[in-house]
Amino acid sequence: MTTSRIGTVVMGASDVGRAAAFWKAALAYVEREPAEDDWVVLVPAEGHGVGLSLGRSGPDSPVQEVPRVHLDVYTEDQEGEVARLLGLGASRVDWPHYPPDPDFVVLADTEGNRFCVIDTTHG
């Protein structure tokens, strides 16, 4: 019996190079092979884990305000990680859907794609 696994998560970007630079720095990922203008696959520098593929998307594919799929970035130092990611070019998202005591902070990457920074020490 053949089993399946997630190989990469694919995200759209209007500027693939800019998005790749952000996610490489954010996750310590590297290019699996040289990037093209409209496509790149990033993989963990340490060699194991899910890849992140970035493909050019046009104006007919705008960023979703409340995306159905997003990335969760886990950390034990949420405040420090949020500050680091903001320094790399992420931005805070005014998120009206926070629960009373959230373990996550919603940010957007350089392309506006939403992602969460999860505090793994929270409850």
Domain count, the chain: 1
User: φ and ψ at 92, to 5 degrees?
Assistant: -75, 145
Residue 63 lies in a domain: no
pLDDT, tens digit, for every residue of 30-57? 999 999 999 999 999 998 999 999 999 9
Question: How confident is residue 123, by pLDDT bands cut at 50, 70 and 90?
Answer: confident
CATH number at residue 105: 3.10.180.10
Percent of the chain scored above 70 by pLDDT?
100
Residue 90 lies in a domain: yes
Helix (H), strand (E) counts: the chain: 2, 8
Residue 2 lies in a domain: no
Residue 64 lies in a domain: no
Which residue in 20, 3, 9, 27 sits closest to 84, CA to CA? 27
Largest CA-CA distance found in the chain, in angstroms, rounded: 46
Give me the domain span that covers residue 30: 8-58+69-119
Tokens of 12: 């759209």
Which residue in 91, 39, 34 sits closest to 63, CA to CA? 91
What is the dihedral angle through the alpha carbons of 13, 81, 69, 93, rounded to the nearest 10 degrees?
-80
